[in-house]
Structure 1
């Protein structure tokens, strides 16, 4: 069974349908866990009211927070009446992603659930969306929810990087597969492994006449197939549920997810930050925008949150 015992559910007050809350309630019905419905609020005009004292501004902020708490409690009446254990947490913060990560650091949540949507590609390259920030910096797993249902008897995909010899990637593969199997058991679904491997570099084939692209491709596929087969055997997954496909992960994984009508893709994210993240992003982020199902992003065991206090 999953180790998600205390879950932070990010509520979007501007949305009519709370996809994250609906998914969290569904999860709570499948396994015992405690939910905390979370909202961060901020109004810049309250900070700019120079005629008021600091105490008066704080009193106004608390009034806004209290109003949001009452709204949230009313919204949660139905699931609470159905026996779901849900707390309410409202904070005043001008950066929603920081508010989420700080809440995880302070209260030790096991999982963050957040609704997501399609991002404008150009905008995503310039301004990192809130859920991408959470993916990079949140120390616990993050479940990004889309509109796909969770029917029993479906498919859960574990996206692995089996060909890598790096210890961090190998360790992350183990976490991703283990979690995918736990989710599959909970949903009575079938776990699948997918591994993308790069095709023949075109420039090498052009520049080196004696280079044999077919041989290169078959060797590369054999290497990745052997690695995936070893992972599958270790986790008792049928080789018929292993998929070693040529191409970029952001192309291969969404195609397989659509083909299998997957309920969820479990993927590892290193959590790259800084300039490298701004320029090239992370594989998980490129994959997420192309998926129509939920994505569960796992961090490495040794991940250190950049917002963690020393």
Structure 2
């Protein structure tokens, strides 16, 4: 059985609101998990290249670290019922602090608040994108401080892929979603998208689309989704299959089902293609109004083999 015992909460002092904190406190109480609150601080004047003398650099660095520790401590005062640790890392970027922490210890979930992103955020390796690509644990991006209202979890999979990597990530997504759904007694829904083949054939006008090809593809995805649903005890009326780009289909279904949480996988594209194209998980974050958990094949959250 998958357990969520250790949660890392990323708090950014540059942001006026810490919308991930309330969600993390609620989850920790519900799951009987411990929390680690993490932030970072840094100043170029404290680096070796600074014109300040070594003693002054050390004093400034110590003062900044102490200020950040007091800031984190202010969040623990009213949560005496929980086991809470704090970590302040001397790092220029907060995603580097997260990765440093995860190199030293294991966490079952990383929680961070998020907001709208644009192309420049991706080009300049925004914190969220770095975490989605490189964090060796599932990442929950919190969109609002409001509590979950509808008790619905939506798991997004690529149901028909024969690739072992996609099958592994499907198991990771569904096992994680099922665990949360069982614990919170929520409705678990499954969504799967398939391409509009007519659009692909329209780009090659000399080739005609076979009759009923779209119907055939829909049936393939329907059969595959039913198999995954049986494996993870998802009701037949909670299966959603749609035509189109996955991020658009998932966003539409999330709105229609009033999902509180979307669980999606990421293959973590790198290089220029990853920057300009991204993947479904990264594009989806900006399209939905609910929390999103992003899981990678390397996260190791799949259930124990029977």
> Is 1:110 aligned to 2:108, yes or no?
yes
> Is 1:91 aligned to 2:89, yes or no?
yes
Per-residue CA deviations over 1:109-130 (Å, capped at 9, x if unaligned) read 221100000113x324532321
Corresponding residue to 1:100 among 95, 98, 101: 98
Return 149-158 or 58-67, whichever deviates more: 149-158
Q: Normalising by structure 2, report the TM-score.
A: 0.91
Unaligned runs of 5+ in 1: 304-310
Q: Distance in 1 between matches of 2:260 and 2:138?
A: 17
Q: Normalising by structure 1, report the TM-score.
A: 0.90
Segments of 4+ moved more than 4 angstroms: none
Which residue is equivalent to 1:254?
A: 251
Preserved CA contact (<8 Å) 1:151 1:187 = no
Displacement of 1:142 in angstroms is 0.5
Return 224-233 or 41-50, whichever deviates more: 41-50
> Is 1:241 aligned to 2:238, yes or no?
yes
Q: Distance in 2 between matches of 1:72 and 1:124?
A: 26
Q: Distance in 2 between matches of 1:153 and 1:181?
A: 16
> Is 1:171 aligned to 2:168, yes or no?
yes
SS in 2 for 1:271: coil
> Is 1:265 aligned to 2:266, yes or no?
no
> Is 1:157 aligned to 2:154, yes or no?
yes
Q: Distance in 2 between matches of 1:114 and 1:180?
A: 18
Per-residue CA deviations over 1:152-203 (Å, capped at 9, x if unaligned) read 6521000000111100000110110111111112222100000000012435
Return 43-52 or 266-275, whichever deviates more: 43-52
Per-residue CA deviations over 1:15-46 (Å, capped at 9, x if unaligned) read 33311111110001101111011001112233
Per-residue CA deviations over 1:89-128 (Å, capped at 9, x if unaligned) read 00110121111112112121221100000113x3245323
Displacement of 1:215 in angstroms is 1.2
SS in 2 for 1:102: helix
Which residue is equivalent to 1:30?
A: 30
Unaligned runs of 5+ in 2: 301-306
**RMSD after superposition:** 1.9
Q: Distance in 1 between matches of 2:113 and 2:289?
A: 12
SS in 2 for 1:207: coil
User: Quick one: structure 1 residues 151 and 281, their matched pair in 2 at CA, closer, same or farther if it must change by over 3 Å?
Assistant: closer
Q: Distance in 2 between matches of 1:255 and 1:116?
A: 20
> Is 1:291 aligned to 2:288, yes or no?
yes
User: Quick one: structure 1 residues 301 and 91, their matched pair in 2 at CA, closer, same or farther if it must change by over 3 Å?
Assistant: closer
SS in 1 for 2:89: strand
SS in 1 for 2:297: coil
Which residue is equivalent to 2:75?
A: 75
Q: Distance in 2 between matches of 1:225 and 1:140?
A: 30
1:103-142 to 2 correspondences below 5 Å: 103-120=101-118, 122-142=119-139
Preserved CA contact (<8 Å) 1:93 1:99 = yes
User: Quick one: structure 1 residues 173 and 227, their matched pair in 2 at CA, closer, same or farther if it must change by over 3 Å?
Assistant: same
